[in-house]
Amino acid sequence: MRLKEIYKKLGRFIGRTAIQICLFILKFIPEKYSYSFARLLSRLGFFILVKYKRVAFDSLSIAFGREKTEEEIKRIAADSFETMARIAVEFMVFLEDLDFIDRHIVVEGRENLDKALAKGRGAIALSAHFGNFPLMIVKIAKQGYKVATVMRHMRDQWVDKYFEAKRHALAVESIYTQPRKECVEKSLETLRNNKILFMQLDQNFGSGGIFVDFFGRKAATAKGPIVFALRTRAPIVPMFMYREDGNMHRLVIEPEVEIAQGSDFEETIYLTAQKLTDIIEKYVRRYPREWGWIHRRWKARPHGEIS
């Protein structure tokens, strides 16, 4: 077995074990102390996960290198690690205490979602890996909406199956990106049944994506949400959730975003993708600690440009 494969398996084992240990510990910690536990985890992760810390610094430098000092960038990177730790702890806590989401989440703009669904063609909830998005999806489902979320399989099979079972118990359907044909069929069926299809548009999509501006630099972006909207005429409704004072969250549901009218299909896709990406950038700029900076968003480059 190659050394690289051994490292991968070891990393997954460590990650799985860490989740199991955290789940055990959180059973015995009062809710008011769970955030202190999250802060401890974030500091430990910021110290140990050197590779991801470096990626966060690089990503923040691309986005804010001309606007913020090195100290400000380091602070946002550390804060984003704490956000990730809080997300993980909150997710584990509310799995056992569903009243948690009622106590900690305020919804703004629900009428925009209701207006979109009233058209009878479903709704594409457009979002990003921003804030506690797993909590946001469950909050929507808990309010009585039928929700399905498009996602990749997690690398560790045990972790993947564990969280899929939890989502299922919380009435959130999982649609996996692979196999692709099945993903497309299930996504279209979701919309045709007037349900909410949750999709994120903020990760590198490689050679299959379309390049649009994100923080002033071209980023490969998925076409899926826009293609689905064009095929089904389902409205696209942006949704984002961010942390407010203390440990309260505000879930903002924005008005429907109209599909841009280009001279042909490809220009329509490009203009709409840019429009949606601008909305994501607006939230990331406003609340930078809420976004996942450890992802290489600008990894893929347009043809002829060096990575």
Digit-coded pLDDT (tens) for 206-252: 877 899 999 999 999 999 999 999 999 999 999 999 999 778 999 99
For the segment 24-51, the average pLDDT, to the nearest whole number, is 87
Q: Over the chain, what is the mean pLDDT? A: 91
pLDDT of residue 92 exceeding 60, the answer is yes
pLDDT at 273 over 60: yes
Residue 202 has a pLDDT of 95
Domain map of the chain by residue range?
3-290
Q: What is the pLDDT of residue 1?
A: 53
| Residues in Cβ contact with 260 at an 8 Å cutoff, skipping those fewer than 6 apart | 268, 271, 272, 274, 275
Residue for token pair 């909207």: 229
206 Rama sector, left if φ>0, alpha if ψ -120 to 50, beta otherwise: left
Q: What are phi and psi of 296, to 5 degrees?
A: -80, 80
- Mean pLDDT for 272-296 is 97
Give CA–CA dist 250/107, Å, rounded.
6
| Whether 73 contacts 60, CB under 8 Å | yes
pLDDT of 306 reads 64
Q: What is the mean pLDDT of residues 34-48?
A: 91
User: pLDDT tens for residues 115-164?
Assistant: 999 999 999 999 999 999 999 999 999 999 999 999 998 887 887 888 88
Q: What is the pLDDT of residue 132?
A: 94
Q: Smallest Cα–Cα separation from 19: which of 154, 189, 159? A: 159
Other residues' Cβ atoms within 10 Å of the Cβ of residue 237 = 22
